[in-house]
A = this chain, B = another copy of it.
Amino acid sequence: MKYYGAIEAGGTKFVCGIGDENGHLISEKRISTISPLKTLPEVVNFFREEATGAGIKIERIGIGSFGPLDLDLNSPKFGYITSTPKPGWSETDIPGFLFEKLQIESIIDTDVNAAAYGEYLWGTGKNLRSLVYFTIGTGIGGGALINGRPIHGLIHPEMGHMILKHNLLTDPFPGICPFHGDCFEGLATGPSIDARWMTSPEKLPSDHPAWSLEAYYISQALHTIITIISPQKIILGGGVMQQSFLFPLIRDLVQKSINGYVRSEMIISRMDEYIVPPGLGSRAGLFGSLALAISPPD
């Protein structure tokens, strides 16, 4: 049996795991995201104690990280976190640090590309030609798998920052994105709900207008995703999507918004299978990172 490491590197916590070649987790630990100098040595200790200390050899570590990341294969800073607003984390080279301390190679991608890959290998997106994975929580991110490979290009998708239609007469809230104001993340991320209604999202009842507005902005984003990528499935995870009553609202609004233009059975009559929660639940990020380690996309 071979063993692999996984790190879901998030804004509030790093979830670290060790799994076998079949994708079964044998060990797991949550470490707070403080600073690289405090957090990364704890990550290294986890692998030292749980693997090296237990006589387990780790073949490779998969990392699904917050970003933006430098994923340009020709860049001297390949794998670095680049311009994150998260204090202290800009220019952090997680794979380099792990290799220096553990002599283990890593494979890194964005948290959402990793989650999309986990869903493609083991979740609700098995073997699809294309799927998109969104996390909608304290931020909004989106990843895409096309023909079994995550999208990389100039950098990588930053789908939370797409433009939406924002009617200032009906919703005068200016949005909270420090770069774009009322982009998707600016209008629909958890903290934007908080800022617009001056109440934390968990305290808003399901019939509060906050939720129909939230479903409206998410449906716009999915309309745009359908017209640009035409994915075979759209997976919505993250804290905001824990409000599962949002799913039927979103499906209905997407169907209305596409308005018969895309003649696919999925849009016309199988929305319940088309816009869905992650098959791996809240574990999509960790299992996606493990999937990257076990079967790196070429």
Contact = CB atoms under 8 A, between A and B. Distances in A.
Nearest to A164: B163
A157 B229 contact: yes
B261 A179 contact: yes
Interface in A14-58: none
A161 interface: yes
A182 to B, nearest CB: 7
Contact of A229 (B163, B180, B229, B266): B229
Given A151-B230, A153-B230, A165 B162 contact: no
Contacts of A147: 146-147, 149
Interface stretch (A101-109, A196-204, A219-227): A219-227
B155 A230 contact: yes
A159 to B, nearest CB: 5
Contact of A231 (B154, B223, B257): B154
Nearest to A179: B261
27 contacts: A82-B263, A83-B260, A83-B261, A130-B151, A146-B153, A152-B230, A153-B229, A153-B232, A154-B232, A155-B230, A155-B263, A155-B264, A157-B227, A158-B227, A158-B261, A158-B262, A160-B227, A161-B227, A162-B224, A163-B163, A163-B257, A165-B165, A168-B169, A179-B260, A179-B261, A183-B227, A229-B229
Interface string A136-178: 0000001010110101111111111111111111000000000
Given A68-B262, A146-B151, A162 B227 contact: yes
Interface in A96-154: 129-130, 142, 144, 146-147, 149, 151-154
A45 B168 CA distance: 57
A165 B182 contact: yes
Contacts of A290: none
Given A163-B220, A163-B223, A163-B224, A259 B180 contact: yes
A1 interface: no
A215 interface: no
Interface in A225-276: 225-232, 257-264, 266-267
A244 to B, nearest CB: 24
Contacts of A160: 227
| Most chain B beta carbons < 10 A, residue from A157, A163, A168 | A163
Given A68-B261, A144-B229, 5 more contacts: A83-B260, A142-B228, A154-B226, A157-B229, A157-B230
